[in-house]
Structure 1
Amino acid sequence: MDTTLNGSTRVPPDPEGTRVELDGRGLTVPDVVRLADAAATPDVPPGALDRVLRSWRAAGRLAAAGRLYGRGTGVGAHRSVPVTAQDEAEHGLRLLRSHAGGAGALLPARQVRAMLAVRANQLLSGGSGIQPAFVTALTDALCLGVHPAVNEYGGLGTGDLTALAQTGLTLIGERPWLTGRPEGQEPQTEEDALPGDLPPGFPVQRRHRTSRKRPADASPAGPSSQLPTPVVPQPGDALALLSSNALTLGQAALACHQLDLLLRATHAVAALSLAAVSGSLEAYAPEVHALRPYPGVARAAAEVRRLLGVPGRPYGAGRRIQDPFGFRAFPQGHGPALDAADALRRIVEVEINVPSENPLISSDGTTAHHHGAFYAAPLGLALDGLNLAVLQTAQLSAARLTALGRPDLTGLPGFLATGPASSSGAMILEYTANSALAELRSCATPASAGHAVLSHGLEEAASFASQAARQSLRAADAYTTVLACELATAVRALRLHPEPPPAFPAFTVADAVLPAGTEDRPLTADVTAAAELLPVLAGL
């Protein structure tokens, strides 16, 4: 295999594959997702790598002229402790080793790959002072399908220090690479490694297993695996690599993308439920929403009208003068979640395309700025805002699900049951949805309300964006279940209607996929099929 450099990678280009350009300027949330899912490989233009080289050389000149934080000094409370020029390289190694103190479960490959993509792109924006070989190694890892072992706990929204220290030790060859399909969600543990695969003290979560068989999507890279060339660390590299919230940003990008998809699918699910209860479209009329120009609210109403085939002025008041809030107030409850998802995407796409390193080397190479831009309050607050907004619309989804089981609203049997009078029908889906809703409610507790005082009081606050990002990922999973329960129930109700089923695409697609039959039976397969259908509905 040819190992000459091609852009930023030693992997030969794949003419059939999809490429994502990493230039430090234009990375998007969908780009991060494609790289995380191994649906694309990175491509670094030479000019971006030159930017890294210039910053590295400038950092060397500045360090020779005067001390730089973290290079000529210790870090945190040791910021005034001098480091001699002769000790700078060893000092960097000590930083990586001492900060690799993450704990808890190992993160899925998908989340770690998202981190690698974000960190590479941030470094390519210039200003870090890191040697270009680290960027090359990061992009090589994405191309080769390997990733470092990264533990869940360690970040507080002031830099993902433990995750990036573990990554740094892997890049320089002190920790092993892992392989795994990005879609695999089961964290790896020490039982996934054969004896001798992991070095002494390798920080993995311990758990008991009846079998030592490795999961299909998780295994340490063996001797025959192609791996990135180990980087020989130079003075200043360690802190330059650590100064970032790349893991939190990668997780935020994944959560933002998934929640955006679910929020778009919600329009179709809500439209099906509205049709199932013969609800009124007056609450969705353009005239109503023109009075209050909230973009998300107007968009939610317009999407329901479009999906029901009444894009203009809706006629007819439906079965009732006023429907329950789950139907009548859907635009007002759902619209803020659309706006919050848009706001989070804008913040993520700012942060993944700018340097975050402290100190920051100026673009002209003449100055090093010490700053607090790594303090991720904008990101944490945006994540908290989206989590709260998703809870609001999820509560309306659960309310519509309950309404679908009420004969007085649908004109159908209670709980959409058929057969003997004691049949339960879809009753249990209320419980399942509310169980997931309870998880979502816990995820909506604002992480940014937390507080911490660290490093001898020098760092007397934290944004807790790291916790908010993990909450968003869990919220997305919980909301998927809530929405799937509503979808399965709405389709069941429409099938039971005495009138011919509606002809709009959302029902046609769902009716063709979801299990048939209204007898009392296990409904797990219905919910699973409905969850898998949500991405399709999001694209209608």
Structure 2
Amino acid sequence: MQEVHYISSEILDLVLVKQIIDNHKTLALSEEAELNIKKSREYLVEKMRDNETPVYGINTGFGSLCNVKITSENLSKLQENLVMSHACGTGELVPKPIIKLMLLLKIQSLSYGYSGVQIETVQRLIDFYNNDILPVIYTQGSLGASGDLAPLAHLSLPLLGKGEVYYDGKRVSSQKIMEKFNWTPIVLQAKEGLALLNGTQFMSAYGVYCLLKSYKLSYMADLIGAVSVDAFDCNMSPYNALVHLVRPHRGQVKTAERILEFLDASELGLSEKKNVQDPYSFRCIPQVHGATKDTLQFVHKTFKTEINSVTDNPNIFVKEDLIISGGNFHGQPLALALDYLSIAMAELGNISERRTYQLVSGLRELPAFLVDNPGLNSGFMIPQYTAASIVSQNKQLATPASVDSIVSSNGQEDHVSMGANGATKCLRVIENIETILAIELMNASQALSFRQPKKSSPFVESFLKPYRSIVTFIENDRLLADDIHASVAFLQSLDVDSEILFG
């Protein structure tokens, strides 16, 4: 029997989100959430009964059309038109895991009872989630300011029986899904289209997904960096706690502790060194990796706040008897955080590639390009080229999106965050980091083989044992692309405990 996660006021954090995803939990509304949604809807219905006062998006047009009054008999059509007209997504397709996160985060936001939606609308979103019915959404179209309008319109289309969804491994029309499950399309009522489309769930879902991958890659960067430290026969003194306690940045201290734990009882680490100092890409691992960890903490805090917030507009305050039009849909906090995350993760790739470069340089009694008979064999020459090209691309992708703004909606929306572009860029950076680290792992594993009979630590050797069964020692040139892809797959297959990742 599947576990159930009840949508409530319980704080969503990365640990809980990871549990929901990893354990394939189904969703259900708690009694608290049901009451919140019903109260808000009943209040809105009563408030709008025979009310001629213009309330943005409820009985008016949208954006710069906010002063156009809509008659009561057209309020439902207004909301349906909003969803259809805003479904203008283009570009690549959003990955399915991110679509599923968008559904979860939209349900969570609507459950607080500040949005005025029908409970049937929220329940249908839950049905989509639980049955793995994922709306087809495109990566381009959101300015990250009036909410993620275009992506969320595509998320909402299937509620109306329109658009397409992924189901059972296929891309099918929403109409077919309605027939299969014997569902009737939702008839959107006043405010509902706006509640569905105004919100930051596209940026937020990308951010949560990127953070989950980033925490794991941060850990793997430390571990693979430790393998490289032994492979390059480095001094252990730069990781001594005394060094870091006089400059006690949390991430720096934690990184140094990890390196020492990973390399505990390493024969290579304990051996006498000929070199007084090591290049910065090894010696400064705590300082560089640590700064990325501190950035992750900041970004985590930002997204934790966001995914437990109400980000549509206007907001309905039942106790205060107020409907307020504000700007909680503006993605500026997320845009800045996503840009910061991109920069921080790009630096993990930058320093990783430098370690790869040092390992293939024929230094420290290692053969040039980590292969016997260099010249006849090119060995690991070109994987470093590949890593360098990806690092360069990441530098371009890490250029901030949030410093840009383009006026839209006839001047009404005159400042936008561009956080959605920051989100899709950030994912590309993080996927690139995975490849760069995989290439470093290939090089470090190969280099360690030349250190035999001396061994690294028991922990590192146990980590490398299954890897070496997949990517074996390279004696002569072979198709290294296969080894790179196998190395990426190996990293993706590893599961790291949440306490280690987020502790």
Same fold (TM over 0.5): yes
The reply to whether residue 336 of structure 1 matches residue 291 of structure 2 is yes
Deviation by residue 1:368-414 (Cα, 9 ceiling, x = unmatched): 12111111111111111111111122111000001111222x31211
5+ unaligned residues in a row in structure 2: which ranges?
A: none
Between 1:171-180 and 1:96-105, the stretch displaced more is 171-180
1:18 matched to 2:34? The reply is: no
SS of residue in 2 equivalent to 1:456: helix
Shift in Å at residue 439 of structure 1? 2.5
Corresponding position: 1:79 with 2:35: no
Q: Is 1:42 aligned to residue 27 of structure 2?
A: yes
Deviations 1:293-328 (A, max 9, x none): 2111111111111111179xx988844211111101
**Which residue in 2 is equivalent to 1:70?**
57
Distance 1:180 1:524, change over 3 A: farther
CA distance, structure 2, for counterparts of residue 198 and residue 49 of structure 1 = 26
2:43 pairs with 1:58: yes
CA contact (8 A) 1:156 1:463 kept: yes
Is 2:155 the counterpart of 1:167? yes
Q: 2:432 aligns with which of 478, 497, 505?
A: 478
1:95-244 alignment runs, 5 A limit: 95-158=82-145, 159-180=147-168, 197=173, 225-226=180-181, 229-244=184-199
Match of 2:385 among 431, 434, 445: 431
Q: Structure 1's 228 and 384: CA in aligned 2 closer, same or farther, altered over 3 A?
A: farther
Deviations 1:407-431 (A, max 9, x none): 22x3121111114653212112101
The equivalent residue for 1:531 is 488
Q: Deviations over 1:509-537 (max 9, x none)?
A: 22332322322111223222322333538
Q: Distance in 2 between matches of 1:318 and 1:362?
A: 68
Structure 1 length-normalised TM: 0.85
- Alignment partner of 1:251 is 2:239: no
SS at match of 1:416: coil
Q: Is the 8 A contact 2:161 2:174 kept in 1?
A: no
The answer as to whether partners of 1:491 and 1:511 remain within 8 angstroms in 2 is no
How much is the aligned-residue C-alpha RMSD, in angstroms?
A: 2.4
- Give 1 or 2: higher helix fraction: 2
2:91 counterpart SS class: strand
- Preserved CA contact (<8 Å) 1:383 1:469: yes
Alpha carbons of structure 1 residues 67 and 96: separation in structure 2 relative to 1, 3 Å: same
Are the equivalent residues in 2 in contact too, given 1:400–1:486 (CA < 8 A)?
yes
Q: How far did 1:267 drift? A: 0.9
Q: Judge conservation of contact 1:36–1:113 (CA < 8 Å) in 2.
A: no
Q: Percent of counterpart pairs with the same letter?
A: 27
Alpha-carbon offset, residue 287 of structure 1: 0.9
Residue 229 of structure 1 and its aligned partner are, at CA, apart by: 4.9
1:255 positional shift? 0.9
In structure 1, the residue matched to 2:473 is: 517
Contact 1:30 1:257 in 2 (8 A): no
How far apart, in 2, do the equivalents of 1:180 and 1:398 lie? 40
Q: Secondary structure at the residue paired with 2:460?
A: helix
- Unaligned stretches of 5+ residues in structure 1: 1-14, 182-187, 200-220
**Equivalent residue letter for 1:142:** Y
* Deviations 1:256-311, CA, capped at 9 Å, x for gaps: 10111111111110000001111112211111111112111111111111111179
Tell me which amino acid in the other structure corresponds to 1:81.
V
Distance in 1 of aligned mates of 2:302 and 2:75: 35
Label 1:229 to 1:259 Cα distance change in 2 as closer, same or farther (>3 A).
farther
Give the C-alpha shift of residue 343 in structure 1: 1.7
Shift of 1:122: 0.6
Provide the rounded CA distance (Å) in 2 between the counterparts of 1:463 and 1:340. Answer: 20
Q: Kindly tell me: are residues 478 and 466 of structure 1, through their superposed partners in 2, closer, same or farther at Cα, counting changes over 3 Å? A: same
Q: CA deviation at 1:178?
A: 2.6
1:166-194 CA-to-partner distances (Å, cap 9, x unmatched) read 2322102233433155xxxxxx8xxx66x
Contact 2:3 2:23 in 1 (8 A): no
Does 2:367 align with 1:413?
A: yes
CA distance in 2, matches of 1:434, 1:456: 44
Cα deviations across residues 219-276 of structure 1 (Å, max 9, x unaligned)?
Answer: xx66874376532211221111111011111111111101111111111100000011
Question: Do residues 487 (structure 1) and 441 (structure 2) align?
Answer: yes
- What SS is found at the alignment partner of 2:410? coil
In the alignment of these two chains, the number of paired residues is: 489
Secondary structure of the residue aligned to 1:386 is helix
Counterparts of 1:305 and 1:533, CA distance in 2: 24
The question of whether the paired residues in 2 share the 8 Å contact of 1:33 and 1:114 is answered with no
Partner of residue 456, structure 1: 410
State which of 327, 330, 338 in structure 2 corresponds to 1:372. 327
Aligned to 1:402: 357
Which amino acid in structure 1 is aligned with residue 167 of structure 2?
T
Q: Report the Cα offset of residue 43 of structure 1.
A: 2.8
- Counterparts of 2:113 and 2:378 in 1: how far apart (Å)? 62
Distance 2:308 2:383 in 1: 43
Q: Is the 8 A contact 2:370 2:380 kept in 1?
A: yes
Equivalents in 1 of 2:358, 2:375: separation in Å? 19
Q: Is the 8 A contact 1:24 1:126 kept in 2?
A: no
In structure 2, the CA distance between the partners of 1:246 and 1:427, relative to structure 1 (3 Å rule), is: same
Kindly state the Cα deviation for residue 25 of structure 1 after the two structures are TM-superposed.
3.8
Paired letter, 1:341: L
C-alpha spacing 1:420/1:477, structure 2 compared with 1 (3 Å): closer
CA distance in 2: counterparts of 1:538 and 1:484, whole angstroms? 16
Deviation at 1:30, TM superposition (A): 4.5
Determine helix, strand or coil for the equivalent of 1:354.
coil
Match of 1:184 in 2: none
Match of 2:419 among 446, 450, 465: 465
Inter-partner Cα distance in structure 2 for 1:252 and 1:225: 33
Task: Check 1:104–1:404 CA distance in 2 against 1; reply closer, same or farther (3 A cut).
Answer: same
Q: Is the 8 A contact 2:103 2:129 kept in 1?
A: yes
Asked if structure 2 preserves the Cα contact closer than 8 Å seen for 1:137 and 1:229, the reply is no
CA separation in 2, counterparts of 1:103 and 1:33?
Answer: 29
Q: Return the alpha-carbon distance in structure 1 between the equivalents of residues 473 and 156 of structure 2.
A: 55
Q: Relative to 1, partners in 2 of residues 1:46 and 1:499: Cα closer, same or farther, differing over 3 Å?
A: same
Taking the aligned partners of 2:195 and 2:220, their CA distance within structure 1 comes to 41
Assess if the C-alpha contact under 8 Å between 2:162 and 2:174 holds in 1: no
Amino acid at match of 1:522: L
